[in-house]
Amino acid sequence: MRNTMPVYAVFSILVSLLILGCNTAAEQQEKAALRAALAQKIALDFRYYCKTTPAKNQRCTMPLTELPEELADMISRTNLGGVILFAENLVDIPQMVKLNYQLQSAALASSSKQPLFITVDQEGGRVARVPRHLSTPFIGSMGIGATYKAHDVAYAQKTGTVIGQELHALGFSVNHAPNVDVNVNPDNPVINVRSFGEDAKIVSILGNAQLIAMQQQGIIGTLKHFPGHGDTHVDSHTGLPRVEHTKEQIKAVDLAPFAYAIKQGNAHIIMTAHIQYPALDSSTFVAKSGKTMIKPATMSKTILTDLLRNDMGFNGLIITDALDMAGISEFFTPEQAVLETFKAGSDIALMPIAIRSPTDITRFDQLLDSLVDHVVAGELEPQHILQSVNRINSLKQSFNIAAWHQNPLDTLTAKATQTLANDNHKALEQALADDALVVYKGAERIVKTDRALMLVMPDKTKCNALETALKAQRTWQKLTCTTLYEVNENQSTDTFSEFDSLLIASISPNQSAAELGGMEDLKYLKEINMPLAQKQTKIAQLLRQAKAAGKETLFVSLRAPYEMTHYAENADILIATFGYNAHTELDSKGNLTAYGLSYSALARLLSGDIIASGSSPVTVAQ
């Protein structure tokens, strides 16, 4: 076990600084100790990094895939406590192992000798940062929820084990999963299939099972988003959601999965939600715009300390959701955000500022200096800071996260290569995709003979993925695919004359910033997402025209199945896969081809090789 920061010694020094005063040399030494303690309470992202500061009105878009000397020095010099990596940071197995090794080396060279929390969002399904073609990302939580009736917690446990094994082999120490939000709002734009379902008891059981399995592999799990993100209609990446549940609803639904894991003794990290919960805390703050608003949970001492810490008995780490999200950044400056969430009871502030160039290193130093000043001014209590540092260091030691770094880099790379996406892991991934399929209507009509299919998919990659999967199963009379963006909804009946069936697949809700990475993806999302009303009108019209032409009509929900309500009248068959992700790679002939487990499962179902055994984890009106 490595030496820990001398917490009580630091505490006594801080007391003398605040109360008795001291000479300048001693004061500087004591402030340095305090500064190092505060740095342990911050986790930064290095998604992009440029050696020179971009010109005004430009931004750095160079992915950071190896650690530059100036960032290594910043980590060591400041005693930074954690980092979060994104897809842009993760290229291939040797590179991922090396980057995490470099990060951990820098942390262990600090004065505190404390290892980094190297964290990632690897929920599975929509939100997965490790390259899909190199790992086992699975189809996600709602797909696991669809298997609960037939398989109980088996898939939650097995996916937790695999995700934990793969992340640990790469050198990660914390996974910001599982998501235990109870999705009771069909229009939820950011959670939906990231949730196990709408039943709080089932979400509790599955979330806890996955959490245990992950942590048994040495990866600390994060339960999110407290006190619950399941009944929002606003994405906290783009705004500040508000939940109007009563206290009784909150206890029975939103808090239940967190309370269950805490009671079982398995919860070590809980992530806050940037959401207003007036039934829990209706106190207000003045935003940087001057507007008076209800505090979001991330800034609420009533919610984080009184409720979570005291009433619910949580003694682990409280980490914020990303502080650069609009639910916080539009109302607080970075300094205010960190100050207020620390005052509320958070242990770790996640992504308060983006580190994109040397200028941002200076900004981080300034942030730490300002936090020291807030302590000296009495706005932050030294005792609370040191309690946080104790919790952080104790958790790092209890999971012995520095042990991975003690192995030679070549050994670590070889182990990761053997672990990631091995045959057993990929077989489990396909089995889950198969067993998660739910047929909501027309199971008896799924034709098991060759036929001519016209496919309409959300984009070209998904066209390629389903066509590839279908062709791998059998030879079809005719198979063609177009995208929803390209097809004309005012088709003549002649359009369908060469086909037996029309299959339309859809993703609803549209992609959010969470699944791609964060706030920097918003511009891209606006360019690719068709307005929901336009999409629904177009799909309904195509199904209606094909049905009028006497063709079999199939609608496939690739994400949240609630959208089936709009198409039930004109679709003979309704299918849900709960997953839509596909990746591209070179096939045996050197052609760039798209693959996705959900498409393979769908092709196997349409070919008659499997039957759908999943049960809907949410209510779908038809």
* Digit-coded pLDDT (tens) for 498-527: 999 999 999 988 765 544 455 444 454 454
Query: What is the token pair recorded at 335?
Result: 């300094």
DSSP notation for 383-446: HHHHHHHHHHHHHHHHTTTTGGGGS-HHHHHHHHHHHTT-HHHHHHHHHHHHHH-EEEE-GGG-
Domains of the chain with bracketed CATH: 7-413 (3.20.20.300), 437-606 (3.40.50.1700)
Give the pLDDT score at 12: 43
Query: Of 144-148, 178-182, 235-239, 618-622, which gets the smallest average pLDDT?
Result: 235-239
Give the pLDDT score at 23: 59
- The predicted-structure confidence for 541-594, as pLDDT tens digits, reads as follows 999 999 999 999 999 999 999 999 999 999 999 999 999 998 888 888 888 899
Cβ atoms of residues 182 and 195 within 8 Å:
yes
**Which pLDDT band, with edges at 50, 70 and 90, does 4 fall under?**
very low
What average pLDDT does the chain have?
A: 91
Give the pLDDT score at 84: 98
Distances (CA, A) of 50 to 58, 59, 101, 490, 522: 12, 9, 21, 49, 21
For residue 115, what is the DSSP state? P
Distances (CA, A) of 394 to 67, 266, 399: 27, 15, 9
Query: Of 4-18, 23-37, 266-280, 312-326, which gets the smallest average pLDDT?
Result: 4-18
**Which pLDDT band, with edges at 50, 70 and 90, does 234 fall under?**
confident
* Predicted confidence (pLDDT) at residue 359 exceeds the cutoff of 80: yes
Distance CA 72, CA 380 (A): 28
Give the pLDDT score at 529: 66
Query: Of 152-161, 229-238, 416-425, 549-558, which gets the smallest average pLDDT?
Result: 229-238
Provide the annotated active-site residues.
321
Give the pLDDT score at 525: 47
Query: Of 76-85, 284-293, 385-394, 595-604, which gets the smallest average pLDDT?
Result: 284-293
**Which pLDDT band, with edges at 50, 70 and 90, does 449 fall under?**
confident
Give the pLDDT score at 521: 43
* Predicted confidence (pLDDT) at residue 9 exceeds the cutoff of 80: no
Cβ atoms of residues 308 and 270 within 8 Å:
yes
335 compared with 529, residue with greater pLDDT = 335
User: The pTM is what?
Assistant: 0.93
Kindly report each contact of residues 564-570 with a partner whose C-beta sits within 8 Å and lies 24 or more positions away, as own/partner: 564/440, 564/441, 564/620, 564/622, 565/620, 565/621, 565/622, 566/536, 566/539, 566/540, 567/504, 567/539, 567/540, 567/543, 568/441, 568/622, 570/540, 570/543, 570/544
Provide mean pLDDT across the span 199-206.
Answer: 98
Cis? peptide before 509, omega within 30° of 0: yes
252-264 in b/e form (b: 16+ CB < 10 A) is: ebbbbbbbbbbee
H-helix or E-strand spanning residue 522? helix 522-528
Provide mean pLDDT across the span 53-59.
Answer: 89
**Strands, sheet with 42-45, edge to edge from the N-terminal-most edge strand:** 317-319, 269-272, 220-226, 174-175, 117-120, 82-85, 42-45, 349-354
Give the pLDDT score at 490: 74
Provide mean pLDDT across the span 8-18.
Answer: 48
594-612 in b/e form (b: 16+ CB < 10 A) is: bbbbbbbbbbbbbbeeeeb
Share of the chain above pLDDT 70, in %: 92
Give the pLDDT score at 613: 96
